[in-house]
Structure 1
């Protein structure tokens, strides 16, 4: 039996046990995972070093390297994320609705696990720990297919997770890593309906598009982040510059980093110059529209493709617009439905932007970098959904559940 089928079958069997595990036992396993990650940081970092050296030899881009690299702090962040999940309420068994029918039947709508969740992701070994923790807490088995670039890191993390599961009496097969990272095996996984209940792709546009187009297993789609900050004519200059800088430079290689700055033409030449200077100081390359270049001529010229580009590096597109309506129209045309921000002191403009922009997260005077399960108080996240079914935005515990109806009666039959 192939690795794919063997592990898929084992995950399906483990899901029955995990779905019935008590909150106390799951939290005990999560604590063991957190302790294991802390205790094994040295072998995890050693494994990650192998992946990073191989990636550098292959001339991997700086953005991908940033996602791949683990540090002591990033391992500690993983530990913190797992511990936060312990503190969160267990959603399983929650009675979402309850009502009595006139014929005496009592109906409860109860939250239950999805079952076995297949997660296909690129680089980012932290996703391995995040996914394991969230799936475990929600009674779901995690069937992980990371990229070849992070294979050694993922193997080291999954080893820690499986040892933790075994130590508390839960099946190690509740979290499994597909070590065969070939495209052929990955494509087979997309159609493994007999073992997988849902797929979640995390990565670039190409990966997500491939999964959505080729999977027969239901897909919870995460999306790219072509995010915008619109600086309104009524924006306070210092706040606007700080938000734009944070959204672009705090971590440019992630999906909630801003890629296009839309600036009202009447915000002021002095404020615009301060924004450009601040971006230049942070080594950000600005690709500007023709109207902006009339004011600041030494900027690179933007073309049509820039408005649709997720750079994931220290590059940003900049366009002057005539109104909040024009900003919304631009976002409607080029945005990816991820995270969009308006900076303004005009409450009417803010309300219009918040109401009319169609995105998973819409901000007023806040950096887009906060679209994150950790920052939303969800603990770690499984991904950020830009679709509308069945989840949207950062996907935490409740987004990894379904529900069933439980009906109880006293012998009623239908006439």
Structure 2
């Protein structure tokens, strides 16, 4: 067999061992994984120095470099994420009663693992730990194919987790890293439908499209994060400013950063001059519609069709809207089904926004930066699905499971 087929079949076989592993043992192993990451922080950072140097030679964008970088704080955050996963209820084996049929059959559903989850990702070595822990807790094996820019860091992280697995007599194939970034191997990986149950790509839109177009295995997609803040006529403008600055400037190279600002015409004159001052202070490049351009000393005037860009940088698109309906229409056309935020003190307006906006996360008076598995109580996330089959939004433990029917009878036959 080929390398990829060997890895895939080994992962599928290893996944079977998790079916009989008690929750308490899974949690013990996860806590030891967190300890091991902290204990080997120096090795992770040393590998990351190599990856960062190579990435700079490749002239990767600042956003990619930010995602790639491993600091002691980020390593500790990885460990904390695993500890949070250990503390979560185990979804496997959970029963849901459907009811009894007239013929006496009792119907229920049991939550079960997907099987083997394949992650294909770019410049995100933390995905190695997040995916490994989430898949392990939810009873799945995982195959991790990172990009060449993160290979050294990802391999070290995986080796640390695998050492813990082996200590407990479990197969290291439960957390497998493809040892080469060769695209031919990725192509072969996407054909392994006999062994792999789902593929989750994380990265730029080009990667997502490539995987979607070439995979023979179901793909959970996250194309991009074009997130908006809509400042309503009933907004607290101080709150709105806080949400804007946090969402746009705290960390620019992530998918839950703000890329668009929509401002109700009734508060534009009061709010936009303050926006201009604040964004200039943070050196944010402004792209604006013709109605708002006059509020900014320097800006690029956008035509209507130019909205909807994912900048992943200190850059934003701003538009004045007539009302909530126009804001929702703009989001429907230019949003990416990721995260949308309204700032308002009007509960009815907030409820209407949350009901009508089609996004995986819709927020009221909260920063878009909270659209994250850890921040939403999932411990960590394996990805953010912006399509709707079978998950929508940040994917935690439950999103890595499905349900099977259990039918219990006492000899019934169908007439």
Specify if TM > 0.5.
Answer: yes
Closer, same or farther: CA 411–268 of 1 in aligned 2, 3 Å: closer
Closer, same or farther: CA 157–351 of 1 in aligned 2, 3 Å: same
Q: Quick check: 304-313 or 105-114, which moved more?
A: 304-313
Aligned counterpart, 1:339: 339
Give the 3-state SS of the residue equivalent to 1:337 in structure 2: coil
Give the 3-state SS of the residue equivalent to 2:201 in structure 1: strand
Aligned counterpart, 1:5: 5
Q: Quick check: 295-304 or 158-167, which moved more?
A: 295-304
Deviation of the 1:297 alpha carbon: 4.7
Aligned counterpart, 2:43: 43
Q: What runs of 5+ residues in structure 2 fail to find an aligned partner?
A: none
Aligned counterpart, 1:321: 321
Aligned counterpart, 1:289: 289
Aligned counterpart, 1:114: 114
Deviation of the 1:220 alpha carbon: 1.7
Q: 2 CA distance for matches of 1:174 and 1:296?
A: 54
Give the 3-state SS of the residue equivalent to 2:10 in structure 1: helix
Deviation of the 1:306 alpha carbon: 4.1
Deviation of the 1:251 alpha carbon: 1.0
Aligned counterpart, 1:411: 411
Aligned counterpart, 2:99: 99
Closer, same or farther: CA 20–56 of 1 in aligned 2, 3 Å: same
Aligned counterpart, 2:241: 241
Q: Is the 8 A contact 1:82 1:379 kept in 2?
A: yes
Aligned counterpart, 1:368: 368
The CA RMSD measured in Å over matched residues stands at 1.4
Give the 3-state SS of the residue equivalent to 2:376 in structure 1: coil
Closer, same or farther: CA 310–201 of 1 in aligned 2, 3 Å: same
Q: Is the 8 A contact 1:20 1:139 kept in 2?
A: no
Work out the number of aligned pairs and report it.
415
Give the 3-state SS of the residue equivalent to 2:316 in structure 1: strand
Closer, same or farther: CA 304–49 of 1 in aligned 2, 3 Å: farther
Q: 1 CA distance for matches of 2:98 and 2:269?
A: 60
Q: Quick check: 292-301 or 52-61, which moved more?
A: 292-301
Aligned counterpart, 2:52: 52
Q: 2 CA distance for matches of 1:154 and 1:275?
A: 40
Deviation of the 1:301 alpha carbon: 2.2
TM-score by length of 2: 0.97
Q: What runs of 5+ residues in structure 1 fail to find an aligned partner?
A: none
Q: Is the 8 A contact 2:14 2:141 kept in 1?
A: yes
Find out whether 1:222 has 2:222 as its counterpart.
yes
Q: 2 CA distance for matches of 1:347 and 1:34?
A: 42
Q: 2 CA distance for matches of 1:126 and 1:305?
A: 36
| 4+ residue segments displaced more than 6 Å | none
Give the 3-state SS of the residue equivalent to 2:176 in structure 1: strand
Aligned counterpart, 1:190: 190
Closer, same or farther: CA 108–302 of 1 in aligned 2, 3 Å: same
